Amino acid sequence: RDLVSSVVDSIAAKHGWVKAIRRNEIVCNRNGNGNSSRDYTTGELQVNCTLTIRLSALVNTPQPVRIFKGTCTSHGGDCNPSRQNRVAAMSRGGSYVKNTPHKALYSLCNIAEHSGTLTSAIIKNVMSVVWPSQKTITKQDIFYIRAKIMKLMPVFRKSNLEYEEFKKVVNCDDLLKGIDNEELDDDEAYQLAHTLWLEVLNTEGKKEDAIMSFIEYLELIKCRAKGFTYKLAEDTSGKGKKLIGVVWMTATMRRNFELFGGYISLDMMKRGLNTLLWPYCAVTMYDEHMKICLACEGILCGERHDTYKFIAQFLSQSAPGRPLSDVNIVAGDGFFDQETISDFGFINARYIADRWHFLESGLNKMFGNRAYELLQAYLKKMVYASSEEEFEEILCLAYELLQAQPQREMQM
C-alpha cells in the first residue's frame, strides 16, 4: 500500500494532479460530481475525472496488494493535468493551509505578538514566499491562516519565542492539519470578527471593497462557528438595494440577551471611525456580576430610525429565547423617546436616558440651566448613589440647599 501510494504521489507531482484515497481506491481528487453550493472562481473541484486505481486492500496485511479490474489510469471529464491544475486542486483540497511551513507560522506568530495585529497584507506577504507563485492567495486562505495563528498563539508564548521549542510542540499538534473540518469556539469567532472589523477600520481604499471583504469573512466565520450569525441591512427605498450596514451575533451574545436582556442600552458612536465612516453600534447589558456584556454589535451607515429598527428586528430573529416584549427597560440617548422604542418592538419597555447622556444633558434639560447650576453636584451624587439610603440622604441635603435660597430662587 505505502509503495503504491508513494509511486502515485510521485506521478501526480510530475504530471500535475493530486491523489485522493477512498476506501480501496486511489483516485484523482477531481473524481466525482461537484455538489458545492459556493460559486468558486476556478469552478468545481470534482469534475468527473475517471482516473481510478482499485486495490485489494488499503491496510498493511501479509497478503500482497493487488490491482483489481476496473482500474483506469487516464484522466477524463473536465480534468486536465497541468501545473496550474495541481496548484488549484491542492489549494481547493486545503493542502497548502494544512501543510503550512513551520517557519512561516513562527514568523506570523512573532508578528502578531509584537505588533498586536495580523493584517491580510502581512499574511499575503509571508505566505507568497512559501507557496507556489502560481497559487492565488484567496480570502479563504487568509481566513484559515489567521484562525490557525490565533490557535497557535498560546503555543508560541509557551515556547518563550524559541523557534526550535515552537517547532517541537507544533510537530505533535493537530493544528498542522488545518481547520478544514474543525469548528471555531465562540471566543475565537468573536475574536476573528473583532480583528476583521479593526482591519476594515484601518483599510485605505474603496469602501465598497472593504465592506464586501468583511462580509465574506463573516460568512466564513458563520460556516465554522456554531451559533454565529449576521445580517445585512439594506435600503430598498430607492432603485434597487443599497447596503447600509451589517450586524452580527455570537452564541455567547445570544445567551447574554436571553439571560440579561431585561435592561438593555442601545446606542451608536457619535461619528464613524472606519474607512466607510459608518458608526459602530452595539446592544449592551449588565451580567450577573454587573459587568458589561454584548447582545450584538455591528456597523451601520448612521443613527437613523430604520437602522435602530433593523437592530431590534435582528435581536428578535436571532435570539428568540427572549421576545422584544420581554425587555423592560431600553436606555439610550436623546434620539429615542417612549413612542420610538415601542415602534422598534419593545412594546412593554420603559425608555430612560442612559447614564452618560443623562449626566451630559438629561439633567440640564430636566431642571433648567439655573437649577442645574445650583444642584449639579447633588444631582450627580444621587445618580451615583450605591443604595436607596444614600440617595435619600443626598436628596435631603439638596432640599435643604433649596430651602436656604431666597424666595425667588426657590421658584425656579
SS3 content of the chain, % helix, strand, coil (to 5): 50, 15, 35
Phi, psi of 94 (to 5 degrees): 80, 10
Alpha-carbon distance 230 to 212, whole Å?
Answer: 13
Alpha-carbon distance 14 to 9, whole Å?
Answer: 9
Q: What does the buried/exposed string (b/e) look like for 364-380 if buried means 16 or more CB atoms within 10 Å of the residue's CB? A: beebeeebeebbeebbe
CB 139 within 8 A of CB 213: yes
CB 326 within 8 A of CB 347: no
Please tell me whether residue 150 adopts helix, strand or coil conformation: helix
Task: Give 395-401 contacts, CB < 8 A, sequence gap 24+.
Answer: 401/374, 401/375
Strand partners, 329: 263, 350
CB 138 within 8 A of CB 74: no
Torsion, CA 106, CA 109, CA 111, CA 117, rounded to 10: 160
Question: Could you tell me the three cell numbers for 350?
Answer: 420603559
Instruction: Supply the pLDDT for residue 179.
Output: 41
pLDDT, tens digit only, all 412 positions of the chain: 677 778 888 888 888 788 888 777 888 877 877 665 555 555 667 777 888 888 776 555 666 666 666 788 788 887 888 877 777 777 777 777 777 787 888 888 888 887 777 777 888 888 888 888 888 888 778 878 888 888 788 877 887 767 777 666 555 544 444 444 456 677 777 777 767 666 665 555 555 555 656 777 788 788 778 889 999 888 777 666 677 888 999 999 999 999 999 999 988 765 444 445 577 889 999 999 989 999 999 888 778 888 899 999 999 999 999 999 999 999 987 778 899 999 999 999 999 888 887 888 888 888 888 888 889 899 999 988 989 999 999 999 999 998 888 866 545 4
Alpha-carbon distance 23 to 20, whole Å?
Answer: 10
The upper half-sphere exposure of residue 133, i.e. CA atoms within 13 Å in the direction of its Cβ, equals: 0
Alpha-carbon distance 311 to 298, whole Å?
Answer: 9
Strand partners, 265: 284, 331
C-alpha Rg value of the chain to the nearest Å: 30
What does each C-alpha distance from 131 to 95, 104, 408 come to in angstroms? 11, 10, 82
Instruction: Dump the DSSP string for 294-342.
Output: EEEEEEESSS-HHHHHHHHHHHHHH-TTS-GGG--EEEE-TT--HHHHH
Alpha-carbon distance 189 to 221, whole Å?
Answer: 6
Sign of CA dihedral 395, 398, 404, 409: negative
For the chain, the first-to-last Cα distance in angstroms comes to 95
Phi, psi of 403 (to 5 degrees): -65, -30
Torsion, CA 103, CA 197, CA 231, CA 317, rounded to 10: 100
CB 230 within 8 A of CB 247: yes
